[in-house]
A and B are shown apart, each in its own frame.
Chain A
Amino acid sequence: DGGITQSPKYLFRKEGQNVTLSCEQNLNHDAMYWYRQDPGQGLRLIYYSQIVNDFQKGDIAEGYSVSREKKESFPLTVTSAQKNPTAFYLCASSPRQVYQPQHFGDGTRLSIL
Chain B
Amino acid sequence: EDQVTQSPEALRLQEGESSSLNCSYTVSGLRGLFWYRQDPGKGPEFLFTLYSAGEEKEKERLKATLTKKESFLHITAPKPEDSATYLCAVRLGGEGGGNKLTFGTGTQLKVEL
| Chain A residues within CB distance 8 Å of chain B | 4, 6, 31, 33, 35, 40-45, 48, 50, 58, 90, 92, 94-107, 109
Contacts and interface: CB of A to CB of B under 8 A. Distances in A.
Contacts of B4: 42
A96 B98 contact: yes
B101 A104 contact: no
Contacts of A6: 43
Given A96-B98, A99-B32, A42 B104 contact: yes
Contacts of A44: 103
7 contacts: A31-B98, A31-B99, A44-B103, A101-B34, A104-B43, A107-B42, A107-B43
B106 interface: yes
Given A98-B31, A98-B32, A99-B51, A43 B87 contact: yes
Contacts of A4: 43
Contacts of A33: 100
A94 B101 CA distance: 11
Contacts of B103: 35, 42-44
A41 B5 CA distance: 11
B44 A90 contact: yes
Interface residues of B, number: 25
B22 interface: no
Interface string B92-105: 00000011111111
Interface of B: 4, 31-32, 34, 36, 41-46, 49, 51, 87, 89, 91, 98-106
A33 B32 CA distance: 18
Contacts of A48: 98, 100
Contact of A103 (B46, B91, B104): B46
Contacts of B36: 104
Given A90-B44, A104-B44, 17 more contacts: A31-B99, A42-B105, A42-B106, A43-B44, A43-B87, A43-B103, A48-B98, A92-B43, A95-B99, A96-B98, A96-B99, A99-B31, A100-B99, A101-B34, A102-B34, A103-B46, A104-B46
